[in-house]
Amino acid sequence: GAGVSQSPSNKVTEKGKDVELRCDPISGHTALYWYRQSLGQGLEFLIYFQGNSAPDKSGLPSDRFSAERTGGSVSTLTIQRTQQEDSAVYLCASSPSLQTYGYTFGSGTRLTVV
């Protein structure tokens, strides 16, 4: 597609439920990144993919968070047993390769855990 597409754009979920956030990167971009931004805070790195592999998972806040990427394209970030502190905007970005730092971000998924 023309840009990075994320869905849903907004998600309200009850504490304890699982959620799946989807990212569709720019076609041909091999590198894909997940960040989150809490209200009034900076961007927090979660995980990145080179192709389908995730060399650096160090940013995932807990074992309730997982991510996968299939076919070198779409990625899914899953949060199990959501907690109120998971409320944030989850941003996905892609770039042509790891050596290209001109990230293009999607418009994000605003997650609210009630």
Partner 1 sequence: RKEVEQDPGPFNVPEGATVAFNCTYSNSASQSFFWYRQDCRKEPKLLMSVYSSGNEDGRFTAQLNRASQYISLLIRDSKLSDSATYLCVVNSGGTSYGKLTFGQGTILTVHP
Query: What is the binding site for partner 1 (CB under 8 A)?
Result: 31, 33, 35, 41-43, 45, 48, 50, 55-56, 58-59, 91, 98, 101-108
Amino acid at 95: S
Closest separation between CB of residue 5 and partner 1, Å?
A: 12
> CA-CA distance, 6 to 92, in Å (whole number)?
7
Looking at beta carbons only, is 35 or 65 nearer to partner 1?
A: 35
Burial class (CB in 10 A: 0-12, 13-18, 19+), 17: exposed
Closest separation between CB of residue 21 and partner 1, Å?
A: 14
Looking at beta carbons only, is 18 or 98 nearer to partner 1?
A: 98
Closest separation between CB of residue 81 and partner 1, Å?
A: 27
Looking at beta carbons only, is 72 or 80 nearer to partner 1?
A: 72
> CA-CA distance, 25 to 103, in Å (whole number)?
11
> CA-CA distance, 49 to 112, in Å (whole number)?
25
